[in-house]
Structure 1
Amino acid sequence: MNFTKTLTLVSLFTSATLASTNIFAHEAGSWLIRGGVADVMPQESSDNVLNTGELEIDDNTQVAATLTYMFTDNIGFEVLAATPFTHEVKTDGLGKIAEVSHLPPSFMAQYYFGKANSDIRPYVGAGLNYTVFFDEKGYGALDGTKIELDNSLGLAAQAGVDVSINENWFANASIWYMDINTTVKTAVGNFDADIDPITVMLSAGYSF
């Protein structure tokens, strides 16, 4: 995980929290829309690929958005969507061997701490992630080789905080963990991989 990014996130939102003086409402019946950027940081492990080491998957940042409906003042349901994430895949012995894109829609039940009119609303969530892989391309030793990754269904968890800007607008920071497991299928063999990314998201939000 890129701890510099995480520390920057914490610093920014600590400052925002201290500066915030506006009251907003996350109450029963409200819709919350958040939009910003999300950085996916795989915590990968895999089979040994052709005796050249485990798969190494780089980070990628994309535009992301969430939509939340508040069933009560403290309980919400959220859907995550994003533009496709694209990752380079390497091994120590072969270098870059593939690129793959994916979409990770997630569905979360959330609990918001504090009262509906609190200036700061930290929350936690748990649910399911369904990751769809596509546009798999081989490079280097796998150039021209057909590559396919199985889609993944797994658990997901999150923690975040909303900080009021005014009655309707707020700033948000959240961190996610997704259990993503797949089988990489190639002409030279199949390899199981756990991707299990940690995702950090910074966004602006609007409630109505």
Structure 2
Amino acid sequence: MKKLTLAILPFAAFGLNTVTHAATSDGKTFAVSTGWLHVMPQSKGQGVNGKTGNSPYLGPLANLQAANPDAGFEVQNADTVGLMLDYFVNDNVSLELTLGAPPEMELAGKGSIKVHGINVIDLNKYDKAATTDAYTPTISGRYHFGSINNKIRPYIGAGLMYAHFSNVETDPAINQALKANPYLAAFKPELGKVKVDDAFAPVAILGADFNINKNWYATASVSYAHLTTKAKLNVNGTTPAGTTTLISGQSSIEIKPIVTYLGLGYRF
């Protein structure tokens, strides 16, 4: 999580530096809210590219390029609990750190992965080909319209999301299918660890606060993050010379989520 710390520190330093300059008319410079985050990825398969290994035991299957533009992974909807921490620079401008429990994202498989016409795996059979926990802290600046005493205060904002993916798990049925593949069975194939790259993404936000009283408020927002990442994986096998890579591949994953938030907050 070192990258996450480095990403947040400059914003934190800026926030601390501006505390002495804050001037809200009601004296309340901080707010915290928690609620329901609904994540709706606008996801489409981006193809799977790769190559076979160079072991001589692979025979004619060695050193072959594999391009599968119709295959890939699509991220499914998810729900989680959000936590929003706000610092008000003045009545209209605020800085927000968006946190929350990392949702488990499901990746559905699309298309087939083939090597020179040989079908390696049919991803269409797996609605949950893989799962991963997604950590997506976001720093944003917001402009709140109207007076601080208004009952309803719309706002717009923009920021930067940092996405970190961990605990990537694949469907055990994929390994079973690889082992049953007549072209790979002799090598006792096993899917290696899947790595999903960290990524940054710009975020746009539209929302409104609904003041219940001087301290409590309800809040609702919709945001969009232009988030894409890349997954890398290997299929390993056993030969008389030892363990070797049978197939290595990678796929871009287009997430681009629309995220809705409903929460209850407190100002102080």
Q: Which TM-score tier does this pair reach, normalised by the shorter chain?
A: 0.7 to 0.9
Q: 1:120·1:162 contact (CA, 8 Å) conserved in 2?
A: yes
Q: Which runs of 5+ in 1 are unaligned?
A: 1-24
2:38 aligns to what? Answer: 39
2:84 aligns to what? Answer: 66
Identity %: 30
Q: How many residues align?
A: 184
Q: 1:27·1:72 contact (CA, 8 Å) conserved in 2?
A: no
Q: Tell me, what secondary structure is at the counterpart of 2:174?
A: helix
User: Against the structure 1 CA distance between its residues 133 and 40, is the aligned structure 2 distance closer, same or farther, given a 3 Å change threshold?
Assistant: same
| Structure 1 runs of 4+ with >4 Å offset | 25-29
Radius of gyration: which is bigger? 2
Which is helix-richer, 1 or 2? 2
| Structure 1 residue 114 corresponds to structure 2 residue 146 | yes
Q: Deviations over 1:145-193 (max 9, x none)?
A: 3101000111011111110111110111111111211110011401112
- CA-based RMSD: 1.9
| Structure 1 residue 85 corresponds to structure 2 residue 132 | no
1:10 aligns to what? Answer: none
Superposition map of 1:29-178 within 5 A: 30-49=29-48, 50=68, 53-92=71-110, 93-95=124-126, 96-139=128-171, 140-141=173-174, 144-178=191-225
Q: Deviations over 1:99-145 (max 9, x none)?
A: 11111000001000001111111101101000011001111325743
Q: Which moved more, 1:179-188 or 1:85-94?
A: 85-94
Q: 1:46·1:55 contact (CA, 8 Å) conserved in 2?
A: yes
TM-score (norm 1): 0.82
Q: Which runs of 5+ in 2 are unaligned?
A: 1-23, 49-67, 111-123, 177-190, 235-247
**Residues in 1 aligned to 2:210 and 2:226: alpha-carbon distance in whole angstroms:** 28
**Residues in 2 aligned to 1:83 and 1:44: alpha-carbon distance in whole angstroms:** 22
**Residues in 1 aligned to 2:102 and 2:266: alpha-carbon distance in whole angstroms:** 23
**Residues in 2 aligned to 1:26 and 1:119: alpha-carbon distance in whole angstroms:** 15
